[in-house]
Structure 1
Amino acid sequence: MAGPVSATGRQVSVTEVSPRDGLQSEKVFVPTQDKIRLVESLVAAGIRSVELTSFVSPRAVPQMRDAAELVRHFRGRAGVRFSALVPNLRGAEAAIEAGIDAVVMFASASESHNLKNVNRSRADSMAGFRQIARIAEEAGVALHGAIATAFGCPFEGDVPVGNLVDQARRYRDLGISRITLGDTTGMATPGNVVPVLDALRTAVPEVGIALHFHNTRGVGLACAYAGLLHGIRDFEASVGGIGGCPFVPRATGNIATEDFVYMCEESGFPTGIDLGKLIEAAGTAERILGRELPGQVMKAGPRLALSSMDVVRTANG
Structure 2
Amino acid sequence: MIEDGGGARGCPASREEPRVAHSRTLRFWLDPANIAVRLGQAGPVVRTKAGPAVAFQVNDPSLIRKVGCGEDIFQAWSADPCLRDFTGDGFAGAEGQAHRDRRALMKPALAAPRLTALGPSVRDSTEGLLAGLPADRPVDVPVEMSRLVAGLVIETVLNSGISPDTLAALARARSVLSAGVFWKYALSPWPWVPAPRGRAFRRALGTLNEATREVYERHQPDGDGNDVVSLLKRSSDNRPDAALHDLRALLFAGIEATASTLAWACYELGRHPDHQAAIRAEADAVLGADAPADAVRPEQMPRTAGFIREVTRLHGIPFLVRRPATRRTWASSRYPPAPW
TM-score band (shorter)?
under 0.3
- Which is richer in strand? 1
Higher relative contact order structure (alpha carbons within 8 Å, sequence separation ≥ 6) = 2
How high is the TM-score relative to the length of structure 2? 0.24
How high is the TM-score relative to the length of structure 1? 0.25
